[in-house]
Amino acid sequence: MERRERNRRARRTGFHWPERRTGFDRRSDCTVRLLRESSALLIALLALLNLLNVLDWRFTAIGLERGAIEANPIMAAFFGVDTLAAGLFKVSWMFAISVIIWHARRYRRVLEFTVVAAVMYFALVLYHIVGLNLILPSG
């Protein structure tokens, strides 16, 4: 014999705050969820990051040939030795960072950092293009 006379289960009404401590997979509003789920997309983003890094190195070398000054003291020291040494340093560090990002891809903050870094490198390459063409014309 059932002791309940009616269904007492109440529906939640009103606004429900989502639990902030739930796992990565349960966050439907996470902006970098697609990067975590798609290895090919993350590899493409890391390849783009490495390509932008190489473009930054090359445009910096061209700018230095045209009279610009390297603001980064570490890279200035490498460019003082040789342009190729600076390129090898930049490529090796970005490759190491890409490997670290790949192994830490389960962390949302790492993926967010990767997206922000790619956007910043893209802006830097655009800055180089504008600077090389408008500010430091070849001559």
Quick: pLDDT tens for 50-99: 999 999 999 999 989 888 889 899 999 999 999 999 999 999 999 999 99
Residue 119 lies in a domain: yes
Residue 13 lies in a domain: no
DSSP 8-state secondary structure symbol assigned to residue 26: G
For residues 5 and 20, the model is more confident at 5
Residue 107 lies in a domain: yes
Residue 138 lies in a domain: no
pTM score > 0.85 for this model?
A: no
Residue 35 lies in a domain: no
CA distance 44 to 40: 6
CA distance 104 to 39: 12
Residue 44 lies in a domain: no
* Domain total in the chain: 1
Domain range for 109? 54-132
